[in-house]
């Protein structure tokens, strides 16, 4: 309103003079007097305020003259004596414009003062409200997600549905004497849909749903986190029955006393307030808390005890039966070709989370657009899977003939051992095209889902990773940097065999895990619960396992050297081979099927079945990455 008033005043003052165009002839005072003496002036009107003279000449032309103020008596007598019809006028001033002229500065000063006052009040209110919760409130009128929008995970849906039923029909539970869990902790790897489940609860429950992130409690001022926790629970009690969802609760729920800040650390005070609100002297009735984290091992034990978060729901990576409906959900809004077999895509994507599958479908759609296709074909899904698992192909990188040949033998060593060794995961694809950070890729996909890995499976995996290094030793008699990442992965796996899985005859059934502090990290604070002598035994056992598998890889590749050379030459010619082509080349070079009548069962597939290890052996300029 203030701005509109200012515009109106400016318009009244300045626009009329701009629009009024003078139609009278302007004369100077000397010329006017000459015309009066020459009997050329018919009428004259003198403005007593300004001295301006207006009138009409005898030829009919209107004129205006800036005369003296006050008028000169001699000139007035001259006009009267020469027959000019003379009038004097004293126009009254515009009262509105006069008032505006005086009030305008006052209005401007008052307006600026009010603007500054309101701005200062806004800043003060922001400071005073810093302790309020930043939770977003969702009600039943908002568009919502339901359990129908969440594919798979029937067990998780069943457990969370109990919370929804309690909030909708609390009387049924009270009649039996059942008490619903006050806190539910969703635990699982990133991208498995924990936050999506919380949104589905908000849509199904029909009660107020308050969503907040763990980091929203932390601020630069001391005590703000605890104040926001109190405000959050007070608001939830007013809305009860209600649901509070805290995402990434590990940011405030870490173990107390593990850092360098002492007992008065701001994070610890925030956690203390949350513990008190969840199960303190004045418990919050009718308020259910759902939290999500992918690091349950670092949460404070007091947070996980019964009465607070007394139920943990694991949201794991989806298996084969769950990946298919997840893919169907993400393909709803995509133009998918009828020839696309989503079940085949699900079988070929082991170990991928729901977020990974969503990204896979989007990458396939982007690849179809780059091809100029009108719909997504099966080839687009194949290209998207290769990009997600192995990385983007680097067209600009050009290898010399010597480097290309060494990469071909390196990848052939991996592929041949993956085919020949009985417990190794079959080869899906091998290529010497630079992909991601690698110069070549050997991709393996498991035949079936595994949850326990026997020792022979682990040893075959170690040998396959040694295949590139062993092939270079056999063919060139020396080594290169191509196996650096292979050795890193193998050393880590062998160390787990000795330290954690009890697969060492020298140490027996003993296990030692990492003892690094939660907050400080292993580099800053590293401790171990075994002696130096045991450490030397562990190092010796790790070296023994790796040397044995390297020797085993050399022996197998020496036995199948003709197959190794056949694979390398075929890769140099064609650059990419699939699993069935690898099997055919090795069998042909061997003179008979390597696996006998079982060869057809390992005929390496374009439709791999199973999940977990999603493992690909890749050779890069800096080393081999698994």
The C-alpha angle with vertex 528 and arms to 524 and 532, in degrees rounded to 5, equals 115
Residues sharing a CB contact under 8 Å with residue 156, sequence separation 6 or more, in sequence order: 186, 197, 313, 314, 315
- Report DSSP state, residue 214: G
- Residue 403 in tokens: 């480097």
- Residue 597 in tokens: 């009548």
Instruction: Using CB atoms within 10 Å of the CB of residue 8, give its burial: 0 to 12 exposed, 13 to 18 middle, 19+ buried.
Output: exposed
Q: Which of 146, 519, 472, 148 is nearest to 297 (CA)?
A: 519
Q: Are strands 311-314 and 209-213 parallel, antiparallel or unpaired?
A: unpaired
Rounded Cα–Cα distance for residues 302 and 297 (Å): 13
Per-residue b or e along 574-604, where b marks 16 or more CB atoms closer than 10 Å to that residue's CB: eeebbbebbbbbbbebeeebbbeeebeebbb
- Give me the half-sphere count of Cα atoms (radius 13 Å) on the Cβ side of residue 378: 12
Q: What is the dihedral of CA 468, 471, 475, 481, to 10 degrees?
A: 30
Return the bridge partners of 56, or none.
43, 62
Q: Which of 585, 560, 571 is nearest to 467 (CA)?
A: 560
- Residue 78 in tokens: 């001259």
Per the annotation, the verdict on 411 as an active-site residue is yes
Task: Check if the beta carbon of residue 69 is closer than 8 Å to that of residue 59.
Answer: no
Task: Check if the beta carbon of residue 567 is closer than 8 Å to that of residue 590.
Answer: no
Listed in order, strand segments (DSSP E) in 504-621 are 576-578, 615-620
If residue 45 lies in a helix (H) or strand (E), which one and from where to where? strand 41-47
If residue 431 lies in a helix (H) or strand (E), which one and from where to where? strand 427-431
- What's the gap between Cα 391 and its chain centre? 19
Task: Check if the beta carbon of residue 522 is closer than 8 Å to that of residue 516.
Answer: yes
| Of 405, 411, 541, 565, catalytic | 411
Please give the C-alpha separations between residue 594 and each of 36, 280, 600, in angstroms, as whole numbers. Answer: 130, 68, 11
Q: Is the peptide bond before 241 cis (omega within 30 degrees of 0)?
A: yes
Active site residues: 411
């Amino acid at each position: 309103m203030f701005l509109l008033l200012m515009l109106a005043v400016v318009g009244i003052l300045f626009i009329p003079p701009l629009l009024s165009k003078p139609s009278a002839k302007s004369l100077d005072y000397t010329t006017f007097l000459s015309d009066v003496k020459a009997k050329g002036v018919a009428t004259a009107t003198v403005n007593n305020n300004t001295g301006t003279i207006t009138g009409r000449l005898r030829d009919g032309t209107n004129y205006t003259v800036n005369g003296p103020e006050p008028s000169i008596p001699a000139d007035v007598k001259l006009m009267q004596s020469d027959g000019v019809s003379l009038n004097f006028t004293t126009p009254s001033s515009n009262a509105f414009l006069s008032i505006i002229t005086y009030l305008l500065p006052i209005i401007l000063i008052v307006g600026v003062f009010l603007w500054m006052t309101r701005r200062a009040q806004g800043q003060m209110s922001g400071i005073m409200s810093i302790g309020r919760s930043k939770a977003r409130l969702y009600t039943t009128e908002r568009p919502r997600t339901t359990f129908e929008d969440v594919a798979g995970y029937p067990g998780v849906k069943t457990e969370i549905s109990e919370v929804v039923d309690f909030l909708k029909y609390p009387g049924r539970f009270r009649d039996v004497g059942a008490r619903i869990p006050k806190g539910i902790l969703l635990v699982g790897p990133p991208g498995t849909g924990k936050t999506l489940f919380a949104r589905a609860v908000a849509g199904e429950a029909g009660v107020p749903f308050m969503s907040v992130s763990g980091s929203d409690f932390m601020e630069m001022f001391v005590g703000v986190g605890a104040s926001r926790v109190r405000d959050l629970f007070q608001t939830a009690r007013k809305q009860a029955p209600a649901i509070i969802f805290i995402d990434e609760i590990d940011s405030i729920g870490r173990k107390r006393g593990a850092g360098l800040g002492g007992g008065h650390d701001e994070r610890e005070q925030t956690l203390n307030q949350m513990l008190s609100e969840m199960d303190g002297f004045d418990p919050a009735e009718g308020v259910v808390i759902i939290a999500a984290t992918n690091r349950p091992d670092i949460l404070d034990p007091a947070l996980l005890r019964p009465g607070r978060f007394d139920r943990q729901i694991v949201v794991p990576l989806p298996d084969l039966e769950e990946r298919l409906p997840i893919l169907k959900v993400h393909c709803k809004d995509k133009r998918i070709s009828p020839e696309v077999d989503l079940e085949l895509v699900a079988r070929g994507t082991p170990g991928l989370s729901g977020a990974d599958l969503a990204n896979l479908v989007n990458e396939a759609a982007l690849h179809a657009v780059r091809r100029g296709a009108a719909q997504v074909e099966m080839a687009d899904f194949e290209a998207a899977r290769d990009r997600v698992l192995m990385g983007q192909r680097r067209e600009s990188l050009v290898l010399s003939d010597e480097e290309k040949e060494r990469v071909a033998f390196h990848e052939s060593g991996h592929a041949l051992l993956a085919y020949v060794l009985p417990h190794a995961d079959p080869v899906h694809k091998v290529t010497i095209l630079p992909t991601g950070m690698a110069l070549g890729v050997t991709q393996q996909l498991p035949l079936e889902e595994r949850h326990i890995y026997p020792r022979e499976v682990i040893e075959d995996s170690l040998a396959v990773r040694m295949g590139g290094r062993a092939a270079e030793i056999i063919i060139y008699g020396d080594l290169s940097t191509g196996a650096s990442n292979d050795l890193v992965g193998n050393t880590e796996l062998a160390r787990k065999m000795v330290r954690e899985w009890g697969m060492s005859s020298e140490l027996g059934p003993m296990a030692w895990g990492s003892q690094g502090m939660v907050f400080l990290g292993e580099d800053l604070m590293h401790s171990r619960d075994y002696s130096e002598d045991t450490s030397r035994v562990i190092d010796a056992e790790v070296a023994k396992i790796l040397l044995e598998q390297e020797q085993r890889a050399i022996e197998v590749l020496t036995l199948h050297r003709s197959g190794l050379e056949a694979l390398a030459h075929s890769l140099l010619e064609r650059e990419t081979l699939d699993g069935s082509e690898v099997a055919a080349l090795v069998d042909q070079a061997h003179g008979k099927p390597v696996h006998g009548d079982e060869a057809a069962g390992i005929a390496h597939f374009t439709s791999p079945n199973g999940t977990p290890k999603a493992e690909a052996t890749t050779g890069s300029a800096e080393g081999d990455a698994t």
